Structure 1
Amino acid sequence: MRRYITLALTQLCRSKPDVIKTAYADVIKLLIEAARHDTSSEELSKLLRCTALTKAHIDKFCQFHANYKEQLQENLETIGNGLPHIIDVDWRIDYCIKSSINDSAGIPNYNISLSTMKHGNIQSVQFMCTIQELQELVLKLKDAARHIEKLTNP
């Protein structure tokens, strides 16, 4: 179907297919971002006046946006645009005395279980790491928390 759209647009626009694909992708991105940020038709019209589009094209685009904005927002809600939230952490230490799989005898392994929530669904993410990997994870989390604190408290 994409090929059909590209061929039809190529015949209509009489331009190179790669230029048409790029323009098509940019129009779709603009529609999605406008729906994601709940942009009104008036705000979108003001934004598009800075471009080389004619008033008729801007009005047509804004009308299209107004007609499909709610449907796009509903689709974005089902897809989601955020990462899951960590709601709980469980951990335990396993001390492997000897293993037939690898030579990591005598090294403690940490089993981490993160409970996450996205769109009301709770899922569990589990992984195993060494003490060095766990320390690196904790340092990265602390660094991210410091960075967020700097952004929120100027």
Structure 2
Amino acid sequence: MDLSPQVQAGLKLLTDLNNSFKTINKAFNTINNPREEPISGCDHYALSTVLVLACKHNYDDQQLHQLLEMYIPNADVVDKIVSKYFIFKNVYTQRNAQFGIALPHVTDANWTLRSDLSSSSYSVSPGNLTFSIELESFNYKTNLKEPAVRFTCTPEELQLLINKLKDIELNCDKHSKVALK
């Protein structure tokens, strides 16, 4: 996992177990209930970030230990963080699902076929066909469809996309049949 320079610098501040104990508890409390325990410092931000990412990437104790060893100079601090992570990992993983960006669930697709009859641009020749495609998702809070992705492509690019989607479907079918056995 690649960490930003700010997170790396914040982790390097966790040098002494006695001084870091409060930060460790605050970081775990932030993940548990972010509204009640706001971020209060560079070290707190860095550790909270690493814990959220470790849950997102499903890190086990050893992976987290190796990551923290690279940035935290004190082995006792690393051991304390990893042991607390091990105890509460399942709880934090479930709560962690609310952090970050979730991919939209596509519920509809709209498309428009366009043709350039004439062009003043050298990059577009007259008569070219393009598809304008919009994938929509449903917002349950507003009960409305919202655009999730918009893109434009040529018929050849659209055919490549369709072929890739068919490959994904075949791959999913194959894996689901193997999983059922």
**After the TM superposition, which of the residue ranges 127-136 and 108-117 deviates more from structure 2?**
108-117
Query: 2:55 is matched with which residue: 32, 47, 50?
Result: 32
Greater per-residue strand proportion:
1
Do 2:104 and 2:148's aligned partners in 1 also have CA atoms closer than 8 Å?
Answer: no
Structure 1 stretches lacking a partner, 5+ long: 13-23, 38-43, 52-56
Considering only CA atoms, is the larger Rg found in Structure 1 or Structure 2?
Answer: 1
1:116 offset after TM fit, Å? 3.0
1:89 offset after TM fit, Å? 0.7
Q: Between the two proteins, what is the percent identity of the paired residues?
A: 24
Do 1:84 and 1:118's aligned partners in 2 also have CA atoms closer than 8 Å?
Answer: no
Task: Determine the C-alpha separation between the residues in 1 that align with 2:53 and 2:152.
Answer: 41
Task: Determine the C-alpha separation between the residues in 2 that align with 1:125 and 1:59.
Answer: 43
**Larger RCO: 1 or 2 (CA < 8 Å, sep 6+):** 2
Which digits, 9 at most, give the CA deviation of each residue in 1:93-125, with x for residues without a partner?
A: 111111223332111111111113588784332
Partner of 1:99: 119
Question: What number of residue pairs does the alignment pair up?
Answer: 124
Structure 2 stretches lacking a partner, 5+ long: 1-5, 18-46, 66-77
Relative to the length of structure 2, the TM-score reads 0.50
Do 1:98 and 1:106's aligned partners in 2 also have CA atoms closer than 8 Å?
Answer: yes
1:111 aligns with 2:117: no
Superposed, 1:4-153 pairs within 5 Å as 4-9=10-15, 28=51, 31-32=54-55, 61-66=82-87, 70=91, 73-80=94-101, 82-101=102-121, 102-116=123-137, 122-153=146-177
1:78 offset after TM fit, Å? 3.4
Amino acid paired to 1:127: F
Q: Compute the RMSD of aligned alpha carbons.
A: 4.1
Task: Determine the C-alpha separation between the residues in 2 that align with 1:153 and 1:77.
Answer: 31
Relative to the length of structure 1, the TM-score reads 0.57
Task: Determine the C-alpha separation between the residues in 1 that align with 2:131 and 2:120.
Answer: 19
Amino acid paired to 1:89: A
1:8 offset after TM fit, Å? 3.6
